[in-house]
Amino acid sequence: MHAQTLDRMFLALADPHRRGMVEHLSAGPATVKALAAPTAMGLPSAVKHLKVLEEGGIVTSRKAGRSRTYSLSSGALRTIGDWARSQEAAWSKAFDQLAAAMLEIPEEGTH
């Protein structure tokens, strides 16, 4: 068994900031800046956390122009529990956007 690999994976998810980033990424790919913003985390600190997640096989990254985009690695979502959690997080985020959109657009008057 590759105990070291498992250790790295568990280490990657042991930190609440990193779990927050994973939850964020479950709704879709994001840049370092977007991932750092919700907790007012500095960019160097966010980069460090993302490096740990990448080494743990939880996320992958891709450089597009000047910015680097992170996404969940497909291998990280292989149990139904992972999948259900990521679905729930994605819907939760979508419903936040729904509530915001409902406030932005006025109700139609009754005829």
Task: Give the nearer residue to another protein in terms of CB position, either 45 or 51.
Answer: 51
User: According to the binding rule CB under 8 A, does residue 11 interact with another protein?
Assistant: no
Place of tokens 């913003």: 37
| CB burial readout 86-97, b (16+ within 10 A) else e | beebeeeeeeee
Residue 62 has φ and ψ, to the nearest 5°, of -145, 135
Task: Give the nearer residue to another protein in terms of CB position, either 47 or 82.
Answer: 82
d(CA 19, CA 39): 12
Could you say which of 40, 44, 65, 78 contacts another protein (CB under 8 A)? 78
User: According to the binding rule CB under 8 A, does residue 92 interact with another protein?
Assistant: yes
User: According to the binding rule CB under 8 A, does residue 111 interact with another protein?
Assistant: no
Dihedral sign, Cα of residue 65, residue 46, residue 90, residue 6: positive
User: According to the binding rule CB under 8 A, does residue 48 interact with another protein?
Assistant: no
Q: Tell me how far, at minimum, the Cβ of 2 lies from another protein, in Å.
A: 5
- Spatial strand order of the sheet with 67-72 comes to 30-31, 67-72, 59-64
Catalog residues that contact another protein under the rule CB under 8 A.
1-2, 5-6, 8-9, 28-29, 57, 62, 64, 69, 73-81, 83-84, 87-88, 91-92, 94-95, 97-103, 105, 107-108
